[in-house]
Amino acid sequence: MADDCLFCKIIAGEIPSNKVYSDDDVYAFHDINPAAPTHILIIPKKHLTDVSASDANDQALLGKLLLKANQIAAEQGLSEDGFRYVINTGSDGGQTVYHLHLHILGGRALNWPPG
């Protein structure tokens, strides 16, 4: 856990969030500035600044992140019409919070290219 990390503070309960899911490894919550009707962030409880900061020891955690995102997307009713996952990495990638997070976006048709 990083003391100055917004998402670590959310995990610790120091900052409120609209929780969707939590277990020993991951935490999911609604984005406070949604870019789609359904916009959920799923984050590892282990502090990783971004996906490129992970290594082979994080393989199971990264897999769990994706599988849990699939489950959450289905529970949110997104599976039939589709949805998008986004993982921003670094400033040029659009990352603004430096704690690995996966965006689940859905509930409307999403355009391409996204940026």
- List active site positions: 101
Tokens representing residue 45 in the block: 């409880």
Residue type for 57, please? N
Residues constituting the chain = 115
Q: How far apart are the first and last CA of the chain?
A: 31
To the nearest 5 percent, what fractions of the chain are helix, strand and coil? 25, 20, 55
